[in-house]
Amino acid sequence: MARQEDFLAVRPSGNPISAKGLMGMFDSKDLVAESSELIKTHKIEIYGEIAYAVFTLNEIFSYKGNQNKDLSTYTCIFKNVNGTWKYSWMQRSQGSTDMTTWE
């Protein structure tokens, strides 16, 4: 069974963060999310109770007053728990994705 404690996100720095840490980051006044737009879904594959997805987001946010405009690619792994898909793993690229890579 997937639990919040099982989730990890790997940030562009390479440092992992737990679900609790990630939620705390988003609840902090240091991070102000302005927009997050799905640009392209590159791949979704399902294998029984496990699935993964790769997609690119255009994100605008401020961190400690510094505005960022990122085009980031995410890789996520999901587990199906009692009919509900839950995040198990997330990895975010740096904010400079080259979309020609996906052509």
pLDDT tens readout for residues 86-95: 999 999 988 8
Q: Where are the beta strands (DSSP E) in the chain?
A: 8-10, 16-18, 31-47, 50-63, 66-81, 84-92
Tokens of 72: 């980031």
More confident residue, 50 or 15: 50
pLDDT at 2 over 60: no
Domain ranges of the chain: 4-95
Q: Using a pLDDT cut of 70, give the percent of the chain over it.
A: 95
DSSP 6: G
- Rounded distance, CA 39 to CA 44, Å? 15
The mean of the pLDDT values for the chain is 88
Tokens of 31: 């991070």
CATH class as words, domain 4-95? alpha beta
Q: What is the pTM of this model?
A: 0.82
Q: What is the pLDDT of residues 17-32, one digit of tens each?
A: 888 888 888 888 888 8
pLDDT at 78 over 90: yes
pLDDT at 1 over 50: no
